[in-house]
Amino acid sequence: MFAWWSVFRFSAEVSFLKPFAPLCGAKVSGRCEHYRLMMLPRHIWPDTATISDDRLHLGGCDARALAATYGTPLYVFDEATLRGAMRACLAAFERQGLPFGVHYAAKALLNTALAQIVAQEGLGLDVVSGAELLVARRASLPMERVHFHGNAPGAAELERAVAWGVGAVVVDNLDELERLAALTAARERPQGVMLRVAPDIEASTHPAIATGGAGSKFGLLPETLDTAAARLRVSPGLRFLGLHAHIGSQIFDLEAFRATVAVLVDLAARLRARHGLTAEELSPGGGLGTPYLAEEAAPDVAAYAAALCASLRDRCAAHAMPLPRLTVEPGRSIVARAGVALYTVMGRKLAADGTIRYLHVDGGMADNPRPALYNARYTALLANCASAPPGPPVSVAGRYCESGDVLLRDVSLPPAQPGDLLAVATTGAYTLSMASAYNLAPRPAAVLVAEGRARLIQRRETEDDLLARDVPL
């Protein structure tokens, strides 16, 4: 018998299940059927995720034991998956034979341990705040591998970025350029800058995370690029490095990335012709999509790298331009699949006939706002009873005081009881980094797992932490 129900949202009739079938050997026991060892689909779950004796294991650690030790909600990060994604991205660009850089986008998730892994694996880092810069420094990440972004950075943040010698400040608008020019006017060593442009490319993704259109709040319109170039030419404290664009996140269409590179090269050629500025570096940003459901296909990072590099080669040849360095900024595609969120089922809402309408869990929109913000969908299983047959579709509601606090809608799960442990896959990106303390519920802890060992990389927020900024009258 083949029990994959708990993993799938709609149906177990999914063709890629078949290769896993030989790994399953069933024996029935109580509420759950036990399997000696079951691998989970790699494009949704971490590389090391297995179901052994009916329980989810991550990085060789029993999810139930992790929850017992660290409490829930708990975010578990699989080190092998994380490093594997970084290496795959580097290798994909390496194979293209062009000068390149891979900068992990810190906004997807940042803590010092992760920044240390980024440093060890040879990636750079994109940051957007002074505190993200601090984390980069704590992790001893060489500052020349850090790019500082933002459409409205504070004065102190810009000062820190310049004083610490970041590799580039990626300038979003003319006012920021003006501030940066004033800040660096007396510098002996000019600060490298890239100009972020709005390429007018509407990629297919949720409107809230589409950033490439002309109407987006981000980036210089091509019409204002000449003004920026003129300012750069009379700014002795600034050195033009190149152009940047980012068309959005959760994008699967390689054509949109290819078009972005073409726009960047065309604009670089224009700057060279009109202003004598040479772009040494071009960056089409990040944005490569990640599957969240079993039926979604994983994008091919090798095809992504090939598409970007082919576009760069073609357009540069058309303009007789030397090849600049290509820098990409993946966030989600590096960290999303490495993360699994663990929640305890606290209660249920039952229909009159006793069927379960909602499971209530001890986290929700404050640690993972993506369902509420973008109608994001997820895949889940019961970590303590991973191969039990499913009951009727059920929704998983968070603990927060909003009707929109529903993490999963109408998913197939075994009939759960209070105390069961829910594992939600692909929760590494844009969850903890966007977490809030809504309802004054402390933010979750995060652990890194590898080879049977778990290390706390972010402790759970405490009530004292929450009240530390609270000032009584």
Span interacting with ligand PLP, options 179-187, 329-337, 387-395, 441-449, rule CB under 6 A: 329-337
Q: CB under 6 A: which stretch of 88-96, 100-108, 154-162, 392-400 binds ligand PLP?
A: 100-108
Minimum CB distance to ligand PLP, residue 304 (Å): 11
- Residue 249 is a binding residue for ligand PLP (CB under 6 A): yes
Q: Which positions from 143 through 162 interact with ligand PLP, judged by CB under 6 A?
A: 149
- Residues of this chain, 158-187, that bind ligand PLP according to CB under 6 A: none
Quick one: which segment of 49-57, 138-146, 224-232, 281-289 binds ligand PLP (CB under 6 A)?
A: 281-289
- Contact status: 205 vs ligand PLP (CB under 6 A): no
363 interacts with ligand PLP by CB under 6 A: no
**Is 331 a binder of ligand PLP (CB under 6 A)?**
yes
3-class DSSP state of 119: helix
Nearer to ligand PLP, 73 or 330 (CB): 330
Other beta carbons less than 10 A from residue 206's beta carbon:
14
Note the residue count of the chain. 473
Which segment (14-22, 37-45, 330-338, 433-441) binds ligand PLP by CB under 6 A? 330-338
- Rounded CA-CA distance 163/289 in Å is 35
* CB 41, min distance to ligand PLP, A: 21
In whole angstroms, give the CA distance from residue 193 to residue 189. 13
* Min separation Cβ 378 and ligand PLP, Å: 17
Q: Is 401 a catalytic residue?
A: yes
- Neighbouring residues of 346: CB distance < 8 A, sequence distance ≥ 6: 360, 361, 362, 399, 418
CA distance 89 to 307: 13
Stretch near ligand PLP under the rule CB under 6 A, chosen from 50-58, 80-88, 105-113, 434-442: 105-113
By CB under 6 A, is residue 107 in contact with ligand PLP? yes
Q: For residue 388, what are the contacts with CB-CB under 8 A and spacing of at least 6?
A: 3, 6, 31, 32, 33, 54, 382, 414, 415
Contact 45/383 with Cβ under 8 angstroms? no
Question: Which of 332, 337, 370, 399: binder of ligand PLP (CB under 6 A)?
Answer: 332
Choose one: 103-111, 181-189, 225-233, 392-400; the region binding ligand PLP (CB under 6 A): 103-111
- For ligand PLP, the closer CB: 124 or 287: 287
User: Half-sphere exposure of 127 toward its Cβ, with a 13 Å CA cutoff?
Assistant: 29
Nearest approach in angstroms of CB 208 to ligand PLP is 10
Binding mask 121-140 for ligand PLP (x = CB under 6 A): -----x--------------
If we measure between CA atoms, which residue out of 136, 111, 61 comes closest to residue 457? 111
285 binds ligand PLP (CB under 6 A): yes
> What phi, psi does 191 have (nearest 5°)?
-85, 130
| Cα distance between residue 437 and residue 428, in whole Å | 18
CA distance linking residue 359 with residue 316, whole number of Å: 55
Among 58, 86, 106, 108, indicate the residue that binds ligand PLP (CB under 6 A).
108
Determine which residue in the list 329, 362, 367, 420 makes contact with ligand PLP, applying CB under 6 A. Answer: 329
One of 73, 330, 428, 444 touching ligand PLP (CB under 6 A): 330
CA neighbor of 337 nearest in space, from 370, 286, 290, 386 = 290
Lay out the site mask for ligand PLP across 227-246 (x = CB under 6 A, - = otherwise): -------------------x
Shortest CB 447 distance to ligand PLP, Å: 22
Q: Output the smallest distance, CB 178 to ligand PLP, in A.
A: 21
CA dist 421 and 65 (Å) reads 11
Angular region, 54: left φ>0, alpha ψ -120 to 50, beta rest: left
Cβ distance to ligand PLP smaller for residue 2 or 374: 374
Q: Residue 55 or residue 244: which is nearer to ligand PLP going by CB?
A: 244
How near is the Cβ of 145 to ligand PLP at its closest, in Å? Answer: 15
**Helical H runs in 95-198?**
112-121, 130-138, 155-163, 174-184
Please give the structure tokens belonging to residue 459: 């402790």
Rounded distance between C-alpha atoms, residue 391 and residue 412, angstroms: 7
Q: Tell the smallest beta-carbon distance from residue 261 to ligand PLP (Å).
A: 15
Q: Which is nearer to ligand PLP, 331 or 444 (CB)?
A: 331
Distance of CA 51 to the CA centre of its chain: 25
Whole-angstrom Cα distance, residue 170 to residue 245? 10
Dist. CA 18–CA 41, nearest whole Å: 11
Catalytic residue numbers? Answer: 401
Q: Which residues bind ligand PLP (CB under 6 A)?
A: 105, 107-108, 126, 149, 246, 249, 285-288, 329-333
